Structure 1
Amino acid sequence: MSTTASPTPPESEGQPEGGAAGPGARPGRLIQNEATTEIPVHLLFRDDPDPVRVPLGPAVVARRQGAGEQPRPHRPAPVRRRPLPQVDPELAEHAARVLPGAAGVLAGACGLTGCLGVTWWAGLLPPLVAEALRLPAYAGAGLGPAQWAAYAGAGALCVAGFGGLARGRAGRAWVLGLFGRYRGTVRRTGLLWINPLVLRRRVDVRLRHWRSEAMPAADPDGMALRVVVLVVWRVRDTARALLGVADHESYLRDCVEAALARVPVEPAGGTRGGVAAAGNALTRLVAQEAAPVGVEVFSVQPVRVEYAPEVAAAMHRRRIAALDARQRASMLGSVVDSVEDTVTRLTMRGLVELDDYERKVLVRDLTVAFCSGRGEPV
């Protein structure tokens, strides 16, 4: 007996659209058309914690643009400010090796004594000097090689002892250099002995202030200003201040001028922080730029802010008009409040009964009366 196999039905028969073929199987239905790529439906409803990113083809992007949808704009990369140039890291202040001044005085006195002794040895010391020094009479053999060598040694000791003496004062420092190399900084006070072969450069390390001349600036609206600033600063690193830049004072002036070109300064009485906010911003900016050269800035505060001559007259008229407008608005507000309070009290206490027309007439008359009493035209 032969059996005939029935034809196998297609997978789509007997299954709902988008349904699963079995309890653990995923649907095979796909979303597709002639202009998009194929995206499996089960990828749109995943329960897995890890998201799956489905790349779209160029056709999808073209279809979106054709439908009016604009592509996501690309944000430009933020412009990073170039860092300030750093001074040679070896140029960092450190204490120089010095001796107390007593050592130099002692060495000079020893050298001077040696010179007198060699003169007596050579027989060249005058009798009066010998008697004053209570030296015995001695007839020397004159100047020979030994005497000349002794003279050279004693003279060098005397010159080195007295020539290396220096006086250190409070608020001042010595920057030492030998053959073009930085050898240290001396901040000690009193009598000191410093190697006479080194080059000494004096630096003022006290707290200093500088009042600038009128510098160009701008307010938040871009109007030209003339600003005078007061800068409080001091030299913190003497090596970088003297050797890291040609002139640290000129460098500080240039930093202040550059900061004024970038920070808007609002005249007094403004609504955006005024001079105090501009002073804080200037202080931060100038301190950051002056730190690499060993200059410490404590404060940069505008002390006089005025408009440039070419716009001073126009800005003066503008400020007068704004002040007058504020005054009129304040006066009108007070008049309206007074009229409202008067009408409300008269009505609530039953003193008058007013319809709409009479109320309007009363409000007008009270407004005219109050404005006339304040000396302002209606």
Structure 2
Amino acid sequence: MILGPLYRDETEAETAEQPAVPAPPRIRGAEDGTRDRSGDRAERRTLPPVLDRELTERPARACSGWWALLVVALAGAVAARLVLRYGVPRPALTADAWPTAGLAGCLTAALLALAGLRRVRAGQAAALTRFGRYRGTVRRTGLVWTFPFRRLTRIDVRLRHWRSEPLPVVDAEGTALRAVVLVVWRVRDTSRALLAVDDHVRYLREQVESVAARVLSRLPADSFGPDGPDAPEGPATLRDTDALGDELTRLLAAECRAVGVEVFSARPVRVEYAPEVAGAMQRRRVAAIDARNRDAVLTSVIDAVDDTVRRMSARGLVSLDDYERKALVKDLTVAFYTARGPAADTP
């Protein structure tokens, strides 16, 4: 059996400071300077100085649990040899009472070795406290031995994801919405996740609701204005999921950094209208699409009529005065629009 070193710090790679991730661009349309300043304040949010010094993850002294089993085996072997050679000890303070003391020492060593024996599963970390004070974190897995009389709390440090329930929010126009957010996160600092907040999972979920309400209230859900190729660029909407997800991730990571939670991404899975306004907004969207379609068809018909009249006049096919020209334009417009309009698609 190959045993590892007595003490080994396996948290160096885990606790090493990672390079800072560049802040994603903010959502378009948030021209208000107070919003940017509030976002900067959120990025600098941290614990009070006293708690910040005390609640910082540090490695706890721990060794392989196989060493503890080896100590138990050696103590048992020595105790058995003493019993076989000197018999069952008697509680008597005499000159030859050293076998009794040796047997008591073996029993004490075995009890201490077993009292400090712990099991830590892969994907978990063990935070140690004594009398309510943080004493360190064990990130090595398997059988480990730590100093006895310390309370061990296991914390899941794996990459986790959480899909929220439909969150009630409003957009910039006050329209009621329902948003579903998918968050990918993990516990980075076990001491803060355990002691800085009562329940770090509940804290994360409440912050998701708060950040979603702040971000989604900055922009309208949809833009019903003209969006053709020659139309001016309209305002950003909540349909821009990439920018919306970047903003949610930035603000949520800043809010959760103080409690030791690292947020990798927060993406909107679905943003839809609330049931009480969904029917009205759907009719409004259909009307906007129909108006844009009719405008495009009318523009195409007018261009076709103009081209037809110019070519007929240029080739001398017709000689028209103003009255006849107006009548011809009217007839051609009605004919082309009837052929290209919505009525042509109706059986």
* Equivalence for 1:144: 92
Aligned ranges for residues 187-266 of structure 1 at < 5 Å? 187-264=139-216
TM-score, with length taken from structure 2: 0.74
For 1:276 and 1:269, the matched residues in 2 are separated by 17
Change beyond 3 A, Cα 1:173–1:336: same
Change beyond 3 A, Cα 1:142–1:253: same
Q: Does residue 327 of the first structure (1) align with residue 293 of the second (2)? A: yes
- Out of 66, 89, 96, the residue aligned to residue 52 of structure 2 is 89
What's the CA shift for 1:149? 4.0
* Equivalence for 2:259: 293
Query: Greater RCO between the two (CA within 8 Å, min separation 6)?
Result: 2
Contact 2:46 2:257 survives alignment (8 Å)? no
Aligned residues: 286
* C-alpha distance after superposition, 1:300-332 (max 9, x if no partner): 111122211222222222222222212222222
What's the CA shift for 1:86? 1.3
* Equivalence for 2:67: 103
Q: Does residue 360 of the first structure (1) align with residue 323 of the second (2)? A: no
For 2:62 and 2:102, the matched residues in 1 are separated by 27
What's the CA shift for 1:93? 1.1
Q: Indicate the structure with greater helix content.
A: 2
Ranges in structure 1 where 5+ consecutive residues have no aligned partner: 1-76, 125-140
What's the CA shift for 1:175? 0.9
For 1:320 and 1:226, the matched residues in 2 are separated by 20
For 1:169 and 1:290, the matched residues in 2 are separated by 25
* C-alpha distance after superposition, 1:332-373 (max 9, x if no partner): 222222222222322333333333222222221111111111
Change beyond 3 A, Cα 1:345–1:171: farther
- Out of 327, 342, 345, the residue aligned to residue 376 of structure 1 is 342
Contact 2:112 2:148 survives alignment (8 Å)? yes
SS at match of 1:301: strand
For 2:321 and 2:305, the matched residues in 1 are separated by 17
Q: Partner letter of residue 86 of structure 1? A: L
Change beyond 3 A, Cα 1:220–1:231: same
For 2:92 and 2:288, the matched residues in 1 are separated by 98
SS at match of 2:216: coil
SS at match of 2:342: coil
What's the CA shift for 1:122? 5.4
Q: Partner letter of residue 138 of structure 2? A: V
* C-alpha distance after superposition, 1:273-318 (max 9, x if no partner): 4233322221111111111111111111111222112222222222
TM-score, with length taken from structure 1: 0.68
For 1:269 and 1:113, the matched residues in 2 are separated by 82
What's the CA shift for 1:203? 1.2
Contact 1:108 1:160 survives alignment (8 Å)? no
What's the CA shift for 1:115? 3.3
For 2:320 and 2:121, the matched residues in 1 are separated by 90
SS at match of 1:263: helix
Change beyond 3 A, Cα 1:219–1:276: farther
For 1:375 and 1:323, the matched residues in 2 are separated by 14
* C-alpha distance after superposition, 1:131-167 (max 9, x if no partner): xxxxxxxxxx634354654443222211222332333
Contact 2:116 2:146 survives alignment (8 Å)? yes
Aligned ranges for residues 107-186 of structure 1 at < 5 Å? 107-120=71-84, 123-124=87-88, 142-144=90-92, 146=97, 149-186=101-138
Q: Does residue 304 of the first structure (1) align with residue 265 of the second (2)? A: no
For 1:366 and 1:244, the matched residues in 2 are separated by 77
Identical aligned residues as a percent: 51
Aligned ranges for residues 333-348 of structure 1 at < 5 Å? 333-348=299-314
For 1:341 and 1:153, the matched residues in 2 are separated by 110
Q: Partner letter of residue 47 of structure 2? A: Q
For 1:170 and 1:345, the matched residues in 2 are separated by 81
Contact 1:123 1:142 survives alignment (8 Å)? no
Q: Which is greater in Rg? A: 1
Q: Partner letter of residue 238 of structure 1? A: T
